[in-house]
Structure 1
Amino acid sequence: MKRAFAGALMFAMALSACATSSSMTASHDQPATVDELLQGVDIPYERFTLDNGLTVLVHEDRKAPIVAIAAWYNIGSKDEPPGQTGFAHLFEHIMLFNGTEHIPNLIEPLRDMGATNWNGTTWFDRTNYFQTVPTPALERGLYIESERMGYLLGALTQERLDAQRGIVQNEKRQGDNQPYGMTFYRILERLFPEGHPYRHSTIGSMADLDDASLEEVRQWFRDNYGPNNAVI
């Protein structure tokens, strides 16, 4: 019994030594660099540029009968001039929820075609819109993106602007009144000097949102939402 116990003890000590040695070796291993990690990611895709300047990226994955559609515009809060903070995010709401010259309400056709995960987001460098649709609805999903891009202004009224302005301002109030809700503003002010395009937040200021006129918002669309400034 004693001999068996001694043997087991020696075996356990040997395992412990091996584990300690391997952990010490691992602790001295250098973490992979970003370049090394990126080399391990290989997502095949095709890239096209249409005659109107629109960039199209296509990645095929046939595991499920669905298609993810995303439209990215090279416009964000960093592009807002003084007096127009919050315009990129305001226009995200206008383009996402309002109708176009040919579609009175963009939400209804998305629901009818069985779309899921549809939404839009805005950040410093970009604005995007996305939805997932059944494969047979791909053409209709792309049609909705073409309507957003090309036929929005004729349906943009003062009433619709005021409605989305109120929603965005309420979103800002909700964020500001959360615990630490004002912290992000202070962080940006300390990270970026006066006049830097990243110094103001994406949500913008209440005063600038109040002052946004219909013509200013229309011009924002004309300047930034063409096909040559977008990727699908």
Structure 2
Amino acid sequence: MNIAIVTGGSSGIGRSAAVQLATRGSGVILTYNGNPDGARETVAEIEALGGTAVALPLDVGRSETFPAFRETVVRTLADTWQADTFTALVNNAGISGMSRFEDASEELFDELNRVLFKGPYFLTQAMLPLLRDGGAIVNITSNSTSSGMEPGYSVYASMKGGVAVLTRYLAKELSVRGIRVNAVSPGPTRTRLGDDGFAKHPEIIAPLAARTALGRVGEADGIGRVIAFLLSDEAEWITAQEIEVSGGYNL
């Protein structure tokens, strides 16, 4: 049976990816940090669809907790699916933060590095022994490194750019095990990221939509379906790619 681990699965893109994977027959381990109610809602949604999901707490900014998390995953795989490996990893959990370059602090730099780059790097390393040969990884990057480049995101985009490079290195090094590694680069998407900015500041939506070729901001399901596709057998010949999913932002 296919089993996926999706970090940050309590809302937004992570929730959508978890649900989309479940609808394709995959079991799901989703993680949450600070939103247990959202995680329970994701599990309930998957169960209502006839799937199986387990929510586990994880702070991807605390790499010292990864060995203990791995042991929890080992027990969860055995207890829930009578399995000792999983087949897919989605490095989605993240935070946002902005500051113009001249004002950026080391505190902001270190925080975003811990969550956005160091976290996925060492979480993937920790989970690799449990990832089945022939499996797949999807890392979530951002179009802030390219078509969505805006003042104030030099720190955030630098970390996401690091993840894009990591994606290609993992694809090369893990190819000996038949493991595919790709990245999905969202544009402006209606999620809770940035302290739920879209809900708190709806006035930003129209200008973003006006800059998007397809005339609206993204929705989480538009990203989640691409993630699920890249993890499926239909994408068996795709690796080392970063796919922008932005509706043509700034096209």
Q: Does the alignment reach a TM-score above 0.5? A: no
| Greater relative contact order structure (CA < 8 Å, 6+ sep) | 1
Tell which structure's C-alpha radius of gyration is larger: 1
Instruction: State the TM-score bracket (shorter-chain normalisation).
Output: under 0.3
Normalised by the length of structure 2, the TM-score is 0.24
